[in-house]
Structure 1
Amino acid sequence: MKPIRFPFYIRLGFVLIILIALGYLAVLGEEVLLPLLFSFLFALLLLPLTDFFENKLKWSRAPAALVSVLLFFSAASLIIYVIGLQVAKLSSEWPLLKAQVASLFHNLQLWLQSTFHINMEKQAAYINNISQKGLSSSASLIERTVFSLSAIVLLLVFVLVYTCFLLIYRKLLMRFIVTAFTEQYISIIYDISAQIRYIIRKYISGLFFEMCIITILACVLFALLGIKYVFLLGILVGVLNLVPYVGIFTALAISAGITFATSDGRHALYVALVVLGIHLFDSNFLMPKVVGSQVRLNPLIVVLGVVLGEMLWGIPGMFLAIPYLAITKVIFDRVPSLQAWGILLGEEEHPPKKVKRMIRKVKNKEQAI
């Protein structure tokens, strides 16, 4: 029996309906899907370490997975502890920061009075009005902050637990996927699985390598400029740089603000210029070489994916957008009926220069004839 092939506009309508349904389910199932998707990425990252414990040290699967997750958690905790020490050191200069902000505020008042002829009493009344509104909403702000911190801690716990279970039962999950399809697709499934493992490991390790380079570069440049809290600001720039498109500007604002509060405006300007220079170096050279070469995604699709990820799940969705777009592209490229969508997700392939010259010669000959 010949398979029925619907027109393109009907197939496109089905795709749009499926995408809308998936987006709705993603919003409803955020509490379950978010830690599970992070855990899947971390499990792929820790898989070589788990295989090392199982194959080289002859450990059983559960201890190997547990030790791998604990080592990863310990390394992340060490980084957070070092950052906490730097923040505690910064808090010791709180009186200086208050004096700097008070001086800035006083100068701003004088400028407003001389430029717009707004006297000090009107400015003070306006500020008191704003502060009263801020105090009325401070209780809800504190409540939201506590809730956010507890949600982050709960998310981390679930990510660690899910990662451990995914590493332990990875072969069972693979057997389920293979059994769910007919025998003719088994080789394609194993090929897709191998490509996904390779791309995600390279992508995450590339991000970590990029973060280390950006952190070291920022620390060195800040130290040469005589900026205070070099290590804290360097880590801040390196970590926030991982947030696509908005992270580097957040790092610029925070770094310049801390420098202005602990030094002067000239050093704050230097910090802003250094962060912008690092961003240009990263986006034009480092990111395409270290990370971009692993995913090979269309920049337009990346931007749309990051925006949609933020709309669905906020900042965690922005982190998850790029790796899961890369996974989707791998699947689309290997399924014949979805290869057109894989082309849409990927970069435009340019033929080599030799091929371009040959095509140009053929066209010139045809025009001459």
Structure 2
Amino acid sequence: MKQNYPFYLKLSCVLISIVVLGFLAIIGEQIFVPMILGLLVAILLTPLSRFMEKRLRFPRSLSSIVASLLALAIIGGVIYGISMQVAKLSNDWPQFQKQFITLTDDLQSWISKTFGVRRKDQLEYLNDTAKKSISTGTAILESALKSIGYILMLTGFTFLFALFFLLYRTHLLKFLIASFTESYHKTVFEVVHSIQFMVKKYLVGLFLQMIIVTILSLIAYTIIGVKYNFMLAVITGILNILPYIGIFIALVIGALITFATSGISHVLFIVIAIVVIHAIDGNIVMPRVVGSKVKINSLIVIIGLVIGEMLWGIGGMFLTIPVLAILKIIFDRVEGLQSWGFLMGEDDEVPVFKSTFDKYFQMKKAKLKSNEISDSESESVE
């Protein structure tokens, strides 16, 4: 017999669960972020590992190691290419200072003419601001060094987790199935298979989208004549993964670096190029390459991005959509949570509880039809 609990008890359990999960997510950031990233990388590398096992007759351990090392080598090559251009960027620092001084002088003249603020008062304010900035310079440098160390540690642990997920993927699947009663074995297997299929398709589409945006950006930056075009193109392609805000961050970074190495006209061309590339990506590349593999509405995505940033920073924002996709697949398959899966989906999605909607629309059609018949009868009588 199914027991019905009071609403306040259900609500209390849900709220307590959310608070506990949020607390665990915050204190476990250093383990959860690389673990989830490693799981996504392992799902992406599973076809390559299976190919080496079936066609090349590699053992599971060797195929997992080779697949992980290949992916790590590709990412390492991209990071090396970017770091070389970042090192060259430091040579343009004097030019950036010169352009900044010129821009500041023009801005001071404009403020003096428009608002009547004397240049002497402006210089005093700038000097006070500069002293405060210098006092925090050491803290900023320490924070930057910590960020670099965190990225290196995150990359290392991500591929370590990916290696072990590839190595023990069958064992982990058996554990998940064994954790439920026999009546749920088929459902658990379907959920795991759906998650693997959808996430793999989505990640492949996202990777192709990133490559296309990077190539388009590289072509545009080369035509404009921007220095460090490869670095800016890769940054634009990577940040484009973040919905809504990624392209804005790429635009700001591109404008600042272009301002440091070129003129204002190049900055204007960079802004126009990024806006055009974003329009092409949103209307042509995204629908055809990524498509509707992950049907999540924009409201849920925005909420997920905010929560992801609050919990895990930038890493949480990158994990938002894959995690939401996994949750939606689970909600759609579990009875009692299907309404939440429908809430996360698009407006044109057919709900799991379709029979209720069918009955409603059938009654509505029957009522309209009866009204039409009565109207035609009244016209014939007249």
User: With structure 2 as the length reference, what TM-score do the two structures score?
Assistant: 0.89
Instruction: Tell me the percent identity.
Output: 41
Deviation at 1:216, TM superposition (A): 1.4
Task: Report the counterpart of residue 106 of structure 2 in structure 1.
Answer: 107
In the alignment, structure 1 residue 243 sits paired with structure 2 residue 242: yes
Q: 1:336 is paired with a residue of what secondary structure? A: coil
2:371 aligned with 1:367: yes
Aligned residue number for residue 25 of structure 1: 24
Partner secondary structure for residue 2 of structure 2:
coil
Is 1:300 aligned to residue 320 of structure 2? no
Q: Distance in 2 between matches of 1:106 and 1:145?
A: 30
Question: Is contact 1:39-1:162 (8 Å) kept?
Answer: yes
CA RMSD between the two structures:
2.2
> How do 1:262-341 and structure 2 match up within 5 A?
262-341=261-340
Counterpart check, 1:47 vs 2:51: no
| Matched-pair contact (CA < 8 Å) for 1:302–1:322 | yes
For residue 3 of structure 2, give the secondary structure of its aligned residue in structure 1.
Answer: coil
Moved more, 359-368 or 106-115: 359-368
Per-residue deviation, 1:233: 2.2
Rg larger in 1 or in 2? 2
Measured against aligned partners, the alpha-carbon deviations of 1:107-133 in whole angstroms (never above 9, x if no partner) come to 112222222222332222211111111
Counterparts of 1:137 and 1:260 in 2: how far apart (Å)? 25
The AA in structure 1 aligned to 2:190 is D
**Contact between 1:50 and 1:65, CA under 8 Å: does it hold in 2?**
yes
Shift of 1:362: 5.4
- SS of the residue corresponding to residue 58 of structure 1 reads coil
C-alpha separation in 2, matches of 1:14 and 1:295: 29
Q: Could you tell me how far apart the structure 1 residues matched to 2:190 and 2:345 are?
A: 19
Question: Bigger CA drift: 185-194 or 14-23?
Answer: 14-23
Q: Is the Cα–Cα contact under 8 Å of residues 244 and 318 in structure 1 kept in the other structure? A: no
Tell me which residue corresponds to 2:176.
177
Distance 1:366 1:264, change over 3 A: farther
Q: Please tell me whether the aligned partners of residues 195 and 330 of structure 1 are also in contact (alpha carbons under 8 angstroms).
A: yes
Change (3 A) 1:174 1:266: same
Q: For structure 1, which segment, 201-210 or 83-92, has the greater mean C-alpha deviation from structure 2 after superposition?
A: 83-92
1:309: Cα distance to partner?
Answer: 0.5
**1:70 matched residue in structure 2:** 69
| 1:152 to 2:151 alignment | yes
Using the TM superposition, give the Cα deviation of residue 170 of structure 1 relative to its aligned residue in structure 2, in angstroms: 1.3
Per-residue deviation, residues 267-315 of structure 1 (Å, max 9, x unmatched): 2112112212222332344334433511111221111111111111111
Cα-to-partner distance string for 1:62-94 (whole Å, 9 max, x where unaligned): 111111111000000111112223333433333
State the shift of 1:190 in Å.
1.2
Between the aligned partners of 1:360 and 1:146, the Cα distance in structure 2 is: 65
Paired residues of 1:47 and 1:167 also in contact (CA < 8 A): yes
Q: Distance in 2 between matches of 1:361 and 1:191?
A: 36
Q: Is the 8 A contact 2:92 2:260 kept in 1?
A: no
Number of the residue aligned with 1:345: 344
The answer as to whether partners of 1:50 and 1:64 remain within 8 angstroms in 2 is: yes
Would you say the 8 A contact 1:40–1:163 is kept in 2?
yes
How far off is 1:364 after superposition? 4.1
Give the aligned length: 364
After TM superposition, list the pairs within 5 Å mapping 1:157-172 onto structure 2. Answer: 157-172=156-171
Offset, 1:341: 1.4
The offset of 1:36, in angstroms, is: 0.8
Which moves more between the two structures, 303-312 or 119-128? 119-128
**Does the 8 Å CA contact 1:30/1:313 hold for their aligned counterparts?**
yes
Which runs of 5 or more residues in structure 2 are unaligned? 351-357, 375-382
Structure 1 distance, partners of 2:94, 2:331, is: 58
Give the aligned residue type for 1:144.
Answer: S
1:153-200 superposed Cα distances (whole Å, 9 cap, x missing partner): 112121121111111111111111111111111111111111111111
Conserved 8 A contact 2:239-2:246: yes
- The answer to whether the 8 A contact 1:43-1:166 is kept is yes
Indicate if the aligned counterparts of 1:244 and 1:319 stay in contact, CA closer than 8 A.
no
Tell me the distance in 2 between the aligned counterparts of 1:53 and 1:319: 29
CA contact (8 A) 2:217 2:236 kept: yes
| Alpha-carbon separation, structure 1, partners of 2:6 and 2:202 | 37
* Residues 60, 167 of structure 2: 8 Å contact kept: yes
* Cα distance change of structure 1 residues 365 and 265 upon mapping to structure 2, 3 Å threshold: same
Unaligned runs of 5+ in 1: none
Distance 1:170-1:145 versus aligned 2 partners, 3 A rule: same
How far apart, in 2, do the equivalents of 1:184 and 1:10 lie? Answer: 28
Cα deviation for residue 340 of structure 1 reads 1.5
CA shift, 1:359, in A, is: 9.7
The CA deviation at 1:44 is 0.7
Distance 1:347 1:12, change over 3 A: farther
> Is the CA contact 2:297–2:345 (under 8 Å) kept in the aligned structure 1?
yes
Using the size of structure 1 for normalisation, the TM-score is 0.92
